[in-house]
Structure 1
Amino acid sequence: MTLGLVSDTHGLVDAKLLPLFRGCARVVHAGDVVKPDILDLLADVAPLTVVRGNNDHGPAFAHLPETALVEAGALRILVVHDLGPRERPKPPARALLPRERPEIVIHGHSHHPGAAVVDGRLYVNPGSAGPRRFRLPRCAALLSIRGRRAEVTFYDLEGDAAHRHGDPFVATL
């Protein structure tokens, strides 16, 4: 099973996202959508799970939850926009982690793409697919799950087509 991961689009619909996510079982947007038409475009590619980010204001985003749980095969995923430090998560994630016991946490907000295992849990930030900020890459990710094995591959969105950004991150949970 493969999930498309995106965050912090900040109103930009990058044309490279749609072909990258085509064939995914689900697309997960970790907040800061900013323009609601982005959700319609992503939902046309695959079923969509999205959480509200700190820049998602107004009636178009009022229905979005702050957190979401996704079942992906044998693994449970918690989605939250602003996790804070992985070692000391902010509320509401802090309360949900011990109660829901997700094996994977997908988060955004910092615009820093990355994956790490902390205390046996995989944390993934797909980075920002929105307008370039600072010196951070514009990117998204694919999360492939087979049993309890998770593989995260980041894709740089600069240039004519999305291309792999570094080696995949693999974890057995």
Structure 2
Amino acid sequence: MRIALIADTHGWLDPRIESALVDADHVVHAGDIGSNVSEALDALGVPTILVAGNADAASSQLALTARLDLPGGTLGVVHGHRWRAQNRHAMIRAEFADARAVVYGHSHRRTDDGQTWPWIINPGAAGKTRAYGGPSAALLTVEPSEWRLDWRIFEPRAKKR
């Protein structure tokens, strides 16, 4: 099973990221979605999980956290804006202590922190806002005995002059 992990689109999903999502069995968006992105994800026809980020409208009906039961464990989903950067991973681990892995966004910086349980993943920004080193997504391949992460990182978009 393949789970596409994205975050921080802020209303614009990079088309290169979008094309990388179509082969996934699920898409998980870890917040700061913005307008029109959920519709673009729906059009892919892939089951999608979305959580609210700090830039999403307060009137949003999105939950702040989600859990996806998968072969071999649970994937937690949160945006990450409720915790300071210095202790964010520890706080996420405490909130999702029973998960095998947790995906979060907010910092726009790719992270693969497997130092301790649960595994913490930030796919970086899948839009054009602060996509450090280029827009990115992560593809989590899930099997009962093994979970693997593959990165999809694209060249930064040329700046308009």
TM tier, shorter chain? Answer: 0.7 to 0.9
How has the CA–CA distance of structure 1 residues 135 and 2 changed in structure 2, closer, same or farther, with 3 Å as cutoff?
A: closer
Deviation sequence 1:11-65 (CA, Å, 0-9, x none): 1121112220112110000000111x21111122210001000000154xx2100
Could you say which residue in structure 2 is the equivalent of 1:117?
A: 114
Structure 1 residue 150: Cα displacement: 1.1
Instruction: Read off the aligned partner of 1:41 and give its amino acid letter.
Output: A
Task: Check the 8 A contact 2:125/2:132 in 1, yes or no.
Answer: no
Structure 1 residue 153: Cα displacement: 1.1
Instruction: Provide the rounded CA distance (Å) in 1 between the counterparts of 2:71 and 2:43.
Output: 22
TM normalised by structure 2 equals 0.84
Q: Report the identity percentage.
A: 28
Q: Aligned ranges for residues 62-141 of structure 1 at < 5 Å?
A: 62-82=60-80, 84=85, 85-89=87-91, 94=94, 96-98=95-97, 101-133=98-130, 135-141=132-138
How has the CA–CA distance of structure 1 residues 134 and 30 changed in structure 2, closer, same or farther, with 3 Å as cutoff?
A: closer
Q: Quick one: higher RCO (CA 8 Å, sep 6+), 1 or 2?
A: 2
Aligned positions, number: 152
Q: Which segments of 5 or more consecutive residues in structure 2 lack a partner in the other structure?
A: none
Q: Secondary structure at the match of 1:10?
A: coil
TM normalised by structure 1 equals 0.79
Instruction: Read off the aligned partner of 1:138 and give its amino acid letter.
Output: P
How has the CA–CA distance of structure 1 residues 97 and 139 changed in structure 2, closer, same or farther, with 3 Å as cutoff?
A: same
Could you say which residue in structure 2 is the equivalent of 1:39?
A: 38
Task: Check the 8 A contact 2:125/2:131 in 1, yes or no.
Answer: no
What root-mean-square deviation, in Å, do the aligned CA atoms of Structure 1 and Structure 2 show?
2.1
Could you say which residue in structure 2 is the equivalent of 1:25?
A: 25
Q: Which segments of 5 or more consecutive residues in structure 1 lack a partner in the other structure?
A: 161-173
How has the CA–CA distance of structure 1 residues 19 and 122 changed in structure 2, closer, same or farther, with 3 Å as cutoff?
A: same
How has the CA–CA distance of structure 1 residues 135 and 14 changed in structure 2, closer, same or farther, with 3 Å as cutoff?
A: closer
Instruction: Provide the rounded CA distance (Å) in 2 between the counterparts of 1:134 and 1:156.
Output: 10
Instruction: Read off the aligned partner of 1:115 and give its amino acid letter.
Output: D
Task: Check the 8 A contact 1:51/1:68 in 2, yes or no.
Answer: yes
Could you say which residue in structure 1 is the equivalent of 2:153?
A: 156
Instruction: Read off the aligned partner of 1:63 and give its amino acid letter.
Output: Q
The structure whose residues are more often strand, as a share, is 1
Deviation sequence 1:112-152 (CA, Å, 0-9, x none): 10212132321110001121427443211111111231111
